[in-house]
């Protein structure tokens, strides 16, 4: 994959997440479809989750972000 400035970052936030195969699978599908996205997994624990959401807002991230349902309380 040749990532350029036109690519947008999307991903998954959960804890624990290091074991996830999701980024590999999602990136293969995105590349095959010719979509300009890069999918990554971010290990974010419950205490850090509200700050991570604020970070996404501050960076004006858009698109689809997958999150653990347990972490959505209060967001």
Q: Where are the domains of the chain?
A: 8-72
Per-residue model confidence as pLDDT tens digits over 31-46: 999 999 999 999 999 8
Residue ranges in the chain whose pLDDT is less than 50: none
pLDDT for the residue 1: 62
Half-sphere exposure of 71 (CA within 13 A, CB side): 20
Topology (CATH) of 8-72: Rossmann fold (3.40.50)
pTM of the model: 0.78
Distances (CA, A) of 64 to 3, 28: 18, 17
């Amino acid at each position: 994959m040749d990532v350029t400035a036109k690519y947008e970052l999307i991903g998954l936030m959960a804890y624990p997440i290091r074991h996830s195969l999701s980024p590999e699978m999602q990136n293969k599908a995105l590349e095959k479809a010719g979509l300009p996205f890069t999918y990554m997994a971010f290990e974010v624990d419950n205490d850090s989750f509200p700050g991570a959401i604020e970070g996404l807002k501050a960076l004006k991230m858009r698109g689809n972000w997958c999150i653990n349902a347990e972490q959505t309380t209060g967001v």
